[in-house]
Amino acid sequence: MFERKQIEVLILVGLLSGFFGYFLSYITLQPEISRLRQNYEALNATYQQLSEQSSALETRVNELSEEVFKTRSWTVIKTHSGSGDDEIGVYVRGEVWRITWTATAEQPMFAMFCVMVYPLGESDKFIAYSVAFPRDFSLINPQADVIYIVGHGYYTIKVLAANIQEWNILVESYQ
């Protein structure tokens, strides 16, 4: 078989070839490792910068929001009451507005109340609505709801009321 000297030489050759292979891989991969490390550091610096910018923008948005909300409030445009069907014309200046309504039923089991909002002159294309059915009046009488709408201009509010004792509408604009 192999003599001790031959085994030692084989082991030494194996170790040297392993070390040489590792060294060759290290030398070959070192530029790629350096490039990846530089990319990581650049990306990390960019991330830190963007994170700081994001925080600064968030702070500024919060400041501006507080400023806007301090100067704006809900302003009453119109109030209207009735007991049957009706159409109400309204002009809205602000971009956001709302309709708050309440309705009391004479006979809750047979009551129905509906508010629909149309741009002036477009009676078949409503942009917002709210409906209360008999089951709603049976649970809570008077019934109420709020409709929020985005857009300014002239509008028609159409009310359909069946077996309603009284309804009230409050139209407000956020200005």
pLDDT tier at 114 (50, 70, 90 boundaries)?
Answer: very high
Same domain, 85 and 123: yes
Q: Is 96 exposed, middle or buried (0-12, 13-18, 19+ CB in 10 A)?
A: middle
- The three-state secondary structure class of 41 is helix
Share of the chain above pLDDT 70, in %: 91
List the one residue out of 134, 140, 136 whose CA is nearest residue 163.
Answer: 134
Q: Which of 37, 53, 71 is the last residue of a domain?
A: 71
Same domain, 17 and 79: no
- Distance between terminal CA atoms of the chain? 101
Domain tally, the chain: 2
CATH code of the domain in which 159 resides:
2.60.120.380
Same domain, 34 and 96: no
pLDDT at 156 over 90: yes
pTM: 0.59
Write the CB contacts of 116 (distance below 8 Å, at least 6 apart in sequence). 126, 128, 129, 157, 158, 160
Same domain, 97 and 40: no
Same domain, 28 and 102: no
CA 2 to chain centre: 79
Q: Which of 71, 88, 122 is the last residue of a domain?
A: 71
Report pLDDT for 16. Answer: 67
Same domain, 64 and 81: no
Q: Which domain does 102 fall in, by range?
A: 74-174
pLDDT at 169 over 90: yes
* Mean pLDDT for the chain overall: 85
User: What is the mean pLDDT of the segment spanning 2-21?
Assistant: 71
Longest dimension (CA), the chain: 116
22-74: pLDDT as tens digits: 776 777 777 887 887 888 888 878 878 878 888 887 888 777 777 666 677 89
Same domain, 54 and 92: no
Same domain, 150 and 99: yes
